[in-house]
């Protein structure tokens, strides 16, 4: 698979005014989906850690394309089976076609094309593509899929959390990949100013935001929102940012739980160890009890997700301090959840006993 890395590009987060660097990001996507490529493949894979901004990039793409050309859009979540569209009324004819698309992609592509108005392209957005089991696909399935993604009137966007490869997802082996990652320092600072534009940020405060978020746009927006609610003066100091951390951790808890559930057991073990301090590979091996290959594979994934980084002296640490702090308090969070569940259970038993 050929990969185009969108690292250091600004990603869209929140309201449209916070969509920083749209020319860089969208320009690469337009180039791939222009239909001018020699292989005629009208498809792209967007991959990146959850909450990095993949969906908002697509929303901006839809907005821009709707103003420039005749397009229809179908958004299909392969996990929830939810179908939506910003401009197609009456989705029922498309629902069964989307649900069975990967079983017969060539025939269904033609059927979808027949449903379109004249001179209109259809953009098919498949989210949670990781949920699709492709292990049983044979050579004919792969061949038909290869022809479908070259359909003249259809454009495909596949959205995944993990970088696909030929072993894990043979269907995507010929499709260009775009890695959506954290913001560069310059773009992160711009997003800070956009997210809290009524405040004055000195360099020390911007440095502190960077050390906590490492340019993750979701984290930047949430910590800035907390600061806006708490601060009593116009100028933000590093101490104001540290004061905002507890509330920020509570705000991002739901999103972090979803990310945590997407990690494998090996990746979670490593995250627990790195939440407290930077450690060597040998220490990680001893602490996690993982086989060498499993340990190295898990570290590689965490590094690609932008969660973990390696120092020059071969030590590993949590690149995003705020996520590291969330992982560090994870035991406390889970203990509270268990206690709440027990209290709810006792309350239900009491009610049943009292009224029955």
Integer Cα distance of 191 and 262 in angstroms: 27
Integer Cα distance of 103 and 101 in angstroms: 6
- Contact predicate 43/101, CB 8 Å: no
Q: What is the pLDDT of residue 4?
A: 42
Q: What is the mean pLDDT of the chain?
A: 84
The model's pLDDT over 41-81, given as tens digits with 9 standing for 90+, comes to 899 999 989 999 888 889 888 988 888 888 999 999 999 99
CATH 3.90.870.30 fits 3-179, yes or no: no
- Contact predicate 6/178, CB 8 Å: yes
Integer Cα distance of 31 and 254 in angstroms: 35
The model's pLDDT over 216-228, given as tens digits with 9 standing for 90+, comes to 999 999 999 999 9
Q: Is the pLDDT of residue 298 over 70?
A: yes
CATH entry, 263-319, from 1.10.3720.10, 1.25.40.10, 1.10.3080.10, 1.10.10.10: 1.10.10.10
What's the predicted TM-score (pTM) here?
Answer: 0.83
Q: Is the pLDDT of residue 13 over 50?
A: no
Q: What is the pLDDT of residue 202?
A: 92
Q: Where residue 296 falls among pLDDT bands split at 50, 70, 90? A: very high
- CA separation, residue 307 to residues 12, 163, 304 (Å): 20, 14, 8
Integer Cα distance of 177 and 45 in angstroms: 5
Average pLDDT of 74-99?
92
Task: Write out the residue limits of the CATH 3.40.50.300 domain(s) in the chain.
Answer: 3-179
CB-neighbour burial class of residue 338 (10 A; exposed 0-12, middle 13-18, buried 19+): exposed
∠ CA 228-234-239 to the nearest 5 degrees? 70
Task: Write out the residue limits of the CATH 1.10.10.10 domain(s) in the chain.
Answer: 263-319
């Amino acid at each position: 698979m050929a990969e185009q890395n969108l690292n250091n590009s600004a990603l869209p987060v929140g309201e449209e005014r916070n969509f920083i660097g749209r020319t860089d990001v969208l320009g690469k996507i337009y180039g791939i989906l222009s239909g001018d490529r020699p292989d005629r493949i009208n498809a792209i894979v967007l991959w990146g850690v959850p909450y990095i901004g993949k969906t908002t990039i697509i929303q901006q793409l839809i907005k821009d394309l709707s103003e420039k050309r005749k397009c229809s859009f179908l958004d299909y979540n392969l996990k929830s089976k939810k179908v939506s569209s910003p401009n197609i009324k009456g989705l029922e004819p498309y629902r069964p076609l989307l649900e069975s698309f990967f079983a017969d992609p060539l025939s269904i592509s033609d059927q979808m094309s027949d449903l379109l108005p004249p001179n209109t392209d259809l953009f098919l957005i498949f989210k949670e593509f990781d949920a699709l089991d492709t292990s049983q696909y044979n050579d004919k399935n792969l061949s038909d899929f290869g022809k479908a993604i070259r359909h003249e009137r259809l454009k495909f966007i596949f959205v995944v959390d993990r970088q696909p490869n030929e072993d894990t997802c043979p269907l995507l082996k010929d499709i260009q990949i775009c890695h959506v990652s954290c913001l560069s320092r310059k773009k992160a600072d711009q997003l800070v100013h956009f997210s809290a534009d009524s405040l004055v940020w000195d360099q020390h405060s911007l440095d502190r935001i960077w050390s906590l978020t490492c340019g993750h746009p979701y984290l930047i927006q949430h910590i800035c929102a907390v600061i806006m609610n708490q601060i009593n003066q116009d100028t933000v100091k590093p101490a104001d940012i540290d004061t905002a951390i507890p509330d920020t951790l509570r705000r991002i808890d739901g999103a972090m739980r979803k990310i945590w559930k997407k990690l494998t057991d090996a990746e979670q073990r490593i995250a627990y160890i790195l939440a407290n301090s930077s450690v060597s590979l040998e220490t990680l091996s001893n602490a996690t009890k993982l086989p060498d290959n499993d340990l190295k594979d898990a570290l590689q994934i965490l590094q690609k997700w932008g969660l973990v980084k390696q120092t020059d002296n071969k030590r590993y640490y949590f690149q995003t301090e705020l996520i590291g702090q969330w992982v560090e308090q994870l035991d406390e969070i889970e203990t509270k959840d268990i206690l709440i569940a027990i209290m709810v259970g006792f309350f239900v038993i009491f009610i049943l006993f009292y009224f029955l």
